[in-house]
A and B are shown apart, each in its own frame.
Chain A
Amino acid sequence: MTPQREEPYDAIVVGSGITGGWAAKELTEHGLRTLVIERGRHVEHGKDYVSEWLQPWELPHRGRGDPALYARDYPIQSRNYAFGEATKHFFVNDREHPYAVDDDKPFRWIRGYQLGGRSLIWGRACWRWSDLDFEANARDGHGVDWPIRYRDLEPWYTHVERFIGVAGERRGFPHLPDGDLLPPWELNCAELAMQRGIEKAYPDRFMTVTRVANLTRALNGRQACQARDQCARGCSYGAYFSSLSSTLPAAQRTGKLTIVTDAIVDRVLYDDRRDRASGVRVIDAHTGAEREYHARLIFLNASTFGTAQILLNSTSARFPTGLANSSGEVGHNVMDHLSKAGARATMPGLDDQYVYGRRPTGTYIPRFRNLGAKGDRVDFLRGYGIQAGASRSSWQRGGREPGFGAALKEELREPGPWQVSMQGYIECLPRHENHADLDPERRDRWGIPILRLHCGWSENERAARRDLKQQSVEMLEAAGCTDVQTWDDDAPPGFSVHEMGTARMGRDAATSVLNSHNQAHDVKNLFITDGACMTSSSCVNPSETYMALTARAVDHAVRELNRRNL
């Protein structure tokens, strides 16, 4: 019998975002005394949603914001679609949190440093991945093979969906598996017309309402979504999934949870003698004072780049290039989805049709390229999904056309034509050269080496983008749209906020960082379940997969702990 440990914690979770919250919930529900460490400020569910009830006329710049402030403090964050006058307090100040990029390789790193992290401001789309994704690397030889398949994750997707609540339609797509879904949100009339047109013209293409973590009915003590479509301000109803509305309260209820905020983990402590991670060192965000926390189990959920930064900074005699980095893959194989391109059009007619309420999501056309069917092969690998939607323009169109006075006012009482849009999300191949490393010279205000990001698209992603634009045009025309035009922001990586891959899972410790249970090959009691763990990127939104992997990893970690293997 070893003597009773003095440390009050069994497990440490670094980060409180989507996966940190899940790790905390699962660990505490297994009875482990768990410490969650968040680098940002405390945010209390409800009370700290300071802009939630502000009406349009109560925003000083009516939503336009302050360009001088944005240019000075938010040059990157202000490019995110959810950033605005009413949400900017949930995004980092770029000036205070620098990172470096190569001159010819911009990267838009979107971050939220607060309790709940980016779970407060995420897009909430929830899809299961399938073996089309988990077998992709093995099939075409890019990256390394995933050490798991869909059947390994299937029960954990169900586990996640039952807790978070995902509204969506069961369509039986083989490559986008149905799950445990709440009633779907409705399509509007123009989207129904698009759906009919596309599915009639293309027997192998489908359109469905996006599966989204906004409750269409009350669930687990959270209230149903009120269709305000302002999620990123925070939601007192708890109607969308976030760590603050869902996982952290569940962890709190066990009595096993401790949360520390304003504490920046700069390294994981490694005990050479026991060959285990022994804890973490943190820097107080306000005083700069250093302190340590110790536990038997360490979960890194600091985000794809945050986790990589901690690992690379955790050097020791045993791990001179960073903890758990004997493969040399830590920081490498960064992926994001290439988006910000597609097509727009007008759907004629339906002038007497309108909507009530503001649906908090759009619609989705699942991947139709390279599914293995005859005729769908193209000159690039893998594929893309398309986020689509339709809405009637309102008073804003008045500024785009001549006319003023009572006639203009009268005209703007009615909504304008139905405008439809398509935006692709393109799978990105895992490539070693896309990587993050530590700047040898520049440090942040806490003395931590800043990250340098070296990431760009490959020709494969660009080829898929060309196809995406062409197919979007063809589908819109097939659906009866007019004024069809492509659009392309030529956006750098980062904009999709799906960055992943810096500590990939794999079967071989020589070429990957984590095993099939998100456990570091090199350090048995170290688990990484945020986006860093991803072996390939799919074209499908990744957050639900992160959550399922987290719950599965905790299950494994607790078993191993009980078997005294950690």
Chain B
Amino acid sequence: MTSLVSCDAPRAIVLRLHLNDAVHVVHLPEPMRESSQSIARREAIRRAALLLGGAISAPTLAAVLAGCAAPSSDGERWSPRALTGAQVDLVAAIAEQIIPRTDTPGARDVGVHRFIDTMLAEYSSTEERSAFLAGIATVESSAMRASGRSFVQLSSSGQRDILTPFDADAYAGAARPSFFRTMKELTLLGYYTSEAGATRELKYARVPGRFDGCVPFATVGRAWSV
């Protein structure tokens, strides 16, 4: 029996093959994952066929791999469950201020606002959710008070000026739970565990293959996300 476990095309293909009661795992090494999906597929088939000594035909493997369609991306419909539309925009703007797009995607690009909506709906307690919603409301009222405009309408530097005292305040008093600290932690979690945050902004080895205890940081270049 041959079964496909994971096919995160085009970046990685991992096959698990059940053959004669033994389990064989075939995965593509890191450099292969940068190549196109079809090349990756052909390579996976070639490796699997080599490993199995021709016990499974290439067409059979190709049929299994046909399940490797590219994942559907942002096209699907999404609607928030804990936030209103206006609150989604506000959360997205604050998150983008915390982790902005630079030479890599920012919080908005990877959908941190969607993640925060999920966490508010499924992870937070009623009290935590209320505190969070009250917190973003104070950001909005702070913007209105300072400029007479909504936070999302401010320029990036204007938004930054509004958030600066929130950030300072969040780490000044030790005991008081702070909305902005929660916002920041959720943003970092959502961003650095997103595919772009984990693999493009930072480094991630899906299957390292070995452990080297002492390597110069320069050879890695960025922090490991995991």
Residues of chain A touching chain B, judged by Cβ–Cβ distance below 8 Å, are: 45-47, 52-53, 55-57, 59-67, 185-189, 191-192, 221, 223, 226-228, 236-238, 249, 252, 351-359, 392, 394-396, 398-399, 401-406, 408-410, 412-416
Contact = CB atoms under 8 A, between A and B. Distances in A.
Contacts of B5: 46, 52-53, 236
B96 to A, nearest CB: 10
Contact of A238 (B21, B23, B198, B215): B23
B168 interface: yes
A356 B208 contact: yes
A189 B214 contact: yes
Nearest to B98: A404
B170 A402 contact: yes
A355 B16 contact: no
Contacts of B206: 55, 228
Contact of B207 (A186, A226, A394, A399): A226
Given A355-B213, A357-B212, A408-B99, A61 B201 contact: no
A56 B22 CA distance: 28
Contact of B123 (A53, A64, A353): A64
B14 interface: yes
A405 B98 contact: yes
B80 interface: no
Nearest to A361: B211
A227 B211 contact: yes
B134 interface: no
Given A47-B3, A61-B118, A395 B188 contact: yes
Contacts of A185: 211, 213
A409 B115 contact: no
Interface of B: 3, 5-6, 8, 14, 16, 18, 21-23, 25, 97-100, 102, 115, 118-119, 122-123, 125, 160, 163, 167-168, 170-171, 181, 184-185, 188-190, 192-195, 198, 201-202, 204-220, 222-226
Contact of B226 (A56, A67, A354, A392): A56
Given A187-B213, A398-B188, A414-B222, 4 more contacts: A60-B118, A226-B209, A236-B23, A353-B217
Contacts of B25: 46, 223, 236-237
Nearest to A352: B217
A412 B184 contact: no
The 8 tightest CB contacts between A and B, nearest first, are A186-B213, A357-B208, A53-B6, A357-B211, A399-B185, A56-B193, A356-B212, A415-B223
Contact of B188 (A47, A189, A396, A413): A396
Contacts of B99: 404, 408-409
Interface centre among A53, A66, A228, A406 (most CB of B within 10 A): A53
Contacts of B190: 62
Given A53-B14, A61-B122, A191 B213 contact: yes
A74 to B, nearest CB: 15
A394 B202 contact: yes
Contacts of A56: 193, 198, 204, 225-226
Given A186-B213, A405-B98, A409-B100, A228 B195 contact: no
A215 B160 CA distance: 51
B213 A188 contact: yes
A186 B208 CA distance: 15
B207 A403 contact: no
Contact of B115 (A62, A249, A351, A403): A62
10 contacts: A60-B122, A63-B193, A64-B123, A189-B214, A227-B208, A228-B206, A249-B21, A252-B21, A355-B211, A394-B192
A358 B226 contact: yes
A71 to B, nearest CB: 10
A358 B211 contact: yes
Given A227-B208, A227-B210, A353-B216, A412 B123 contact: no
B122 A66 contact: yes
Contacts of B14: 53
B1 to A, nearest CB: 9
Contacts of B167: 402-404
A424 to B, nearest CB: 24
Contact of A352 (B123, B205, B218): B218
A356 B22 CA distance: 30
Contact of B189 (A64, A221, A403): A64
B24 to A, nearest CB: 9
A252 B21 CA distance: 10
Contacts of B8: 53, 55
Nearest to B209: A226
B136 to A, nearest CB: 15
A282 to B, nearest CB: 27
Contacts of A66: 122-123
A60 B118 CA distance: 8
